[in-house]
């Protein structure tokens, strides 16, 4: 009834091709942005910022990058943690070694380091496909783990191999408060999400999808596989590297190489699979599912048990959290193998017909 595009006529190509052609969607997105940029900073507590919102925003960004590679271009990668690590250590080295370099420049150059690293480890994709490529990208993960543990130059010769970043400032303003950190990460996420959405709608995104759906056919109609695959690796690892730099600088502050272990690669892979392959929206759903849900379960279970007059220990809550989380993953994948994003669009479709389904 409310969600219906009847009467919204498009009179130009421009209007027809905008990201959100339906007015209701535009209003919803505008409201969402207002909430994210204005309401949340005014109302959220410091716990919400530093423990939930900042990791959620950064992981959404990383999942977005992974989704471009896996969801749009069909190149399965298990090296996302490595790209994050390269981004983080790259930005760290630039900010420590180049005096007076602005934070934004260091972060972007960190992303560029990850991009080069991604292109290098994307080369095998020209020869191997599918699961074999996943194994090849796993090499990137182990290589990065080894590199940051072994090569002392990257960690500024710190004996233990752990690094700490100096205080964050932007144009002379301190970015040390939780709100400032959150807003900075959110701005980066919004800009990157907009750019990514436009990329995947454009010629290059269509090339990626053509390669994903059938690379031989794509090559026949004149798409260069090498260019398409490596550009997907480049864009994706740039975004993941940027997310890694933010994770190190804005969330952890100081880290050891194990902060970017295989564990984080797998988490990112789960995010895009559960969120929805080949969907920008899916990255957000996936990140919310993997980052926020375990914490919500961990805090919610004792309360729910408390309502029924039971007490559970932290150990029991932690075990229950893992079990429920695992069961939910399986359940979602059975109910909707195309991920949460697909559920969302099905819901939207139903809403359009409501209350008169035919």
Partner 1 sequence: MKRLNLALACAVVAAGGALTATGAWAQAQQYMPVLSYRTGPYAPNGVPIADGIVDYLKLVNERGGINGVKLLIEECETQYDTARSVECYERLKNKNGGATVVQPWSTGATFALTEKAPTDKISLVTLGYGRSESADGLIFKWNFPLAGNYWVGADAIVQAIGKREGGLDKLKGKKIALIYHDSPYGKEPIPLLQERAKMQGFDLQLLPVAAPGVEQKATWLQVRKDRPDYVILWGFGVMNSTALKEAQATGYPRDKMYGSWWAGAEPDTRDVGEAAKGYNAVALQNSADHNAKVAKEAVEKLYAKGKGTAASKDEVGDVLWLRGAMSSMVVVEGIRAAQERFGKGKVMNGDQVRWGLENLNLTQAKLDALGFGGVLRPLSTSCKDHMGSYWARIETWDGKQWKISSDWIQADEQILNPMIKSHAAKYAAEKKLTPRDAADCEK
Minimum gap (Å) between residue 6 Cβ and partner 1: 46
Nearest alpha-carbon partner for 106 in 303, 244, 264, 272: 244
What is the nearest approach in angstroms of partner 1 to the Cβ of residue 292? 10
* Cis amide linkage into residue 247, ω under 30° from 0: no
Least Å distance, CB 139 to partner 1, is: 15
Site for partner 1 in 84-143 (CB under 8 A): 96
Place of tokens 């190489």: 257
321-340: contacts with partner 1 (CB under 8 A): 322
Residue closer to partner 1 (CB basis): 234 or 264: 264
Q: How far is the CB of 334 from partner 1 (least distance, A)?
A: 27
Cα separation of the two ends of the chain: 14
Pick from 41, 124, 225, 253 the residue near partner 1 by CB under 8 A: 253
The β-bridge partners of 173 are 170
What residues contact 130, with CB distance under 8 A and at least 6 apart?
A: 76
The interface region with partner 1, picked from 15-23, 35-43, 97-105, 256-264 by CB under 8 A, is 256-264
Residues 142-181 that bind partner 1 (CB under 8 A): 149, 156, 158-162, 164, 166-167, 176
256 is a contact residue toward partner 1 (CB under 8 A): yes
Q: Smallest distance, Å, CB 61 to partner 1?
A: 15
Binding pattern to partner 1, positions 287-316, x when CB under 8 A? Answer: --------x--xx--xx-xx----xxxxx-
| Nearest-angstrom CA–CA distance, 13 and 3 | 23
Residue 205 tokens, joined: 């995104």
Short-list 212, 250, 245, 183, CA closest to 72: 212
Q: What share of the chain is helix, strand, coil (3-state, %, to 5)?
A: 75, 0, 20
Query: CA torsion angle for 115, 120, 268, 209 (degrees, to 10)?
Result: 90
**Size of site (CB under 8 A) for partner 1:** 44
Binding-site ranges for partner 1 (CB under 8 A): 45-47, 50-52, 55, 96, 149, 156, 158-162, 164, 166-167, 176, 251-259, 295, 298-299, 302-303, 305-306, 311-315, 317-319, 322
């Amino acid at each position: 009834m409310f969600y219906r595009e009847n009467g919204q006529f498009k009179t130009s190509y421009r209007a027809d091709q905008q990201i959100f052609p339906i007015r209701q969607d535009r209003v919803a997105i505008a409201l969402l942005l207002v909430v994210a940029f204005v309401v949340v900073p005014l109302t959220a507590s410091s716990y919400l910022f530093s423990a939930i919102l900042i990791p959620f925003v950064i992981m959404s960004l990383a999942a977005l990058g992974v989704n471009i590679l896996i969801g749009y271009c069909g190149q399965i990668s298990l090296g996302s943690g490595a790209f994050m690590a390269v981004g983080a250590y790259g930005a760290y080295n630039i900010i420590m070694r180049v005096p007076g370099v602005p934070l934004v420049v260091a972060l972007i150059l960190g992303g560029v380091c990850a991009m080069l690293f991604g292109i290098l480890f994307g080369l095998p994709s020209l020869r191997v496909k599918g699961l074999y490529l996943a194994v090849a990208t796993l090499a990137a993960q182990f290589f990065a783990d080894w590199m940051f543990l072994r090569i002392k130059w990257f960690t500024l010769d710190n004996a233990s191999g752990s690094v700490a970043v100096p205080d964050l400032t932007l144009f002379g303003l301190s970015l040390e408060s939780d709100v400032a950190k959150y807003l900075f990460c959110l701005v980066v996420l919004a800009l990157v999400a907009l750019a990514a959405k436009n990329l995947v709608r454009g010629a290059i995104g269509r090339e990626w999808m053509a390669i994903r759906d059938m690379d031989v056919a794509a090559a026949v109609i004149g798409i260069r596989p090498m260019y398409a695959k490596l550009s997907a690796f480049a864009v994706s690892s740039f975004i993941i590297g940027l997310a890694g730099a933010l994770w190190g600088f804005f969330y952890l502050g100081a880290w050891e190489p194990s902060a970017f272990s295989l564990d984080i690669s797998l988490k990112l892979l789960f995010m895009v699979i559960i969120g929805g392959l080949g969907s920008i929206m899916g990255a957000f759903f996936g990140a919310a599912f993997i980052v926020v849900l375990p914490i919500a379960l961990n805090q919610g279970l004792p309360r729910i048990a408390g309502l029924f007059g039971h007490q559970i220990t932290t150990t029991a809550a932690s075990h229950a959290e893992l079990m429920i989380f695992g069961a939910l993953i399986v359940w979602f994948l059975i109910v909707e193998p195309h991920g949460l994003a697909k559920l969302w669009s099905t819901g939207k479709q139903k809403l359009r017909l409501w209350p008169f389904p035919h």
